[in-house]
Amino acid sequence: MMSGKNERPTMTQLASELRGKFFRKAPDDIALVVSSDTANKAYLSGYVSMAHDLAPSYRSAVLASRERVSLVVSAADAGPAFEFLGEAGLIHRYGEFYFEVVENGPTDFLRPAERDFAEAFKQAMGAVGPTDGLIGVDRTNDDFLWNLCREFLGESRVVDVTRYLGAARAIKSPGEVAHLREATRLVEDGFRKIVEHARSGMTEIDLAAMITEVMVAGGAVPRFVSVTSGPRSALADTYSTRRVIAKGETIRIDAGCTVEGYWSDMARTFVFGEPDTRQKRTYAALLAGLEEQLAAVRPGVPGNLLFDIAMNAVRSNGLPHYKRQHCGHGIGLRSYDSPTINATDTTVLLEGMCLCLETPYYTLGLDGMMVEDTIRVTAAGYEAITTLSRELFVLS
């Protein structure tokens, strides 16, 4: 039980709560849900695997009932999965990898793994045992599991539960928000370190290293740390370099990390020395766009309306030619979750949704600026997850 909004539950506790949430939304006759989508696997099981970072095409799966979870993983991923679940019989392995086992260790790992994912998944389904209910299949990433289950169990036993998982994940629980808040705090602390310690003559990499150090020291996984300066600040998503930052140059920093799978994504703009009139005017227009967008957030507002509000505010406050493909997105176990705040996404905001709202601006050959915050939608408007000032930061 959490005692405060900033206290994070363990991933085991959180996954148990979130499975209950999913099964309350799904039809009553769903007895088991299976998914090979990496975010939904983490949502239902709590297990976040490094193997997916090392090999993005790597396939694993979760089999989740209301009370119990098992995993289908590669033989190499079985060790970390065992550490998380604590019971070797809940882990069904495939492929070739070898662990030695101490006395009283998981002797299941001494048996050869199944040849491929399909065989390991069938083994996992057999281990679940007979059930009178239906098998819900998540089709978020592809139809491989869908077709495998229909072949293995028969079409009448298998139903699509993709939309129920999407509906459950759209509304973030207090435990999920606590993870998002911690991931955001670490990025903010990295930005604060730059404000305190950055000096002219430093490079983009010097500043990126400050942020990354704070992330890692806080137990997070750095996902992107884009520190760009001068003309490079107009390059949108790109890696930092050893370019020395000169006095008067714009520095645009967009950064995020994950804390037990939950993402952060925020951005601020800095200037070494006093900004000139153009820099002040440009940033003021972008800030007006974000702040008017934030002021309009509340349940029932469609995403495309928020987009229009942000665009019109930036244009009417000094950048009449401003163009953007989107001004924000959902965030959670993915950096870009639903909805997308653009001209066509009419998804209605719901209380409990978490969003990143932003107004970036890039002029190739000159510079780029942006300001981006993460929020949670509340009954009356929004609760800030990002707490760092939105000012145009002046570095001495």
pLDDT for 273 equals 92
pLDDT for 238 equals 97
Tell me if the pTM is above 0.85: yes
pLDDT tens track, the chain, 396 positions: 343 455 899 999 999 999 999 999 999 999 999 999 999 999 999 999 999 999 999 999 999 999 999 999 999 999 999 999 999 999 999 999 999 999 888 888 989 999 999 999 999 999 997 778 999 999 999 999 999 999 989 999 999 999 999 999 999 999 999 999 999 999 999 999 999 999 888 999 999 999 999 999 999 999 999 999 999 999 999 999 999 999 999 999 999 999 999 999 999 999 999 999 999 999 999 999 999 999 999 999 999 999 999 999 999 999 999 999 999 999 999 999 999 999 999 999 999 999 999 999 999 999 999 999 999 999 999 999 999 999 999 998
* Domains parsed from the chain with CATH numbers: 11-169 (3.40.350.10), 174-395 (3.90.230.10)
- Which residue in 253, 272, 274 sits closest to 264, CA to CA? 253
- Which residue in 184, 371, 376, 384 sits closest to 298, CA to CA? 376
pLDDT for 200 equals 80
